[in-house]
Amino acid sequence: MDTSQRLIIGIDPGSRITGYGIILVKGSLQSHIAHGHIRCQQTHLCERLYHIYEKLAGIITEYQPNEAAIEQVFTCHNHQSALKLGQARGAAMVAVARYALPLGEYSARQVKQAVVGYGAADKLQVQHMVRAILKLTKTPQADAADALAIALCHANTRQSHAMIASALATK
């Protein structure tokens, strides 16, 4: 792949459903490559975590992204849910680490701000903006839309950091 191009996988971890989205970034242009979700129907948590790892590893092998981005764990009122979410996130991170991909981590507020322009946007707003930004013909399922939004946030953040570094270098 051309060095001016980046293939980014965004991951929205969940212990029951993990979303993924892959975008191609060429300069300031962002285009959709793939998206979907990994549904875990296994009874035991350890089996669900392994399923997440295996499926993500397969997706990474198939598309060969050169960067990854994942949502950070948010504070839940239910500690058990937060713990399971963190474990699902860990399984996803191990899949990313297996391929030595650089990993960006973003809060839900950062992702929503980057895609919708409002850090407290709801899921429907995120889905709508992801569809518009990537010029999709259909609205992606919520977890896949979140994963695409995470990838878009990563692309925008990287581009902003590069512009700042360039500006500082010319001073």
Q: For the domain that residue 38 is a member of, what is the CATH number?
A: 3.30.420.10
Taking the model in full, what pTM does it have? 0.91
Q: How confident is the model at residue 165 (pLDDT cuts 50, 70, 90)?
A: low
**Number of independent structural domains in the chain:** 1
Q: What is the pLDDT of residues 97-112, one digit of tens each?
A: 999 999 999 999 999 9
Catalytic residues: 12, 71, 143
Give the residue numbers spanning the domain of 47. 5-169
Q: Which among 7, 6, 10 has a CA at the least distance from the CA of 149?
A: 10
Q: How confident is the model at residue 161 (pLDDT cuts 50, 70, 90)?
A: very low
Beta strands in the chain (DSSP E): 5-12, 17-26, 29-39, 67-71, 103-106
Q: Supply 114's token pair.
A: 């980057």
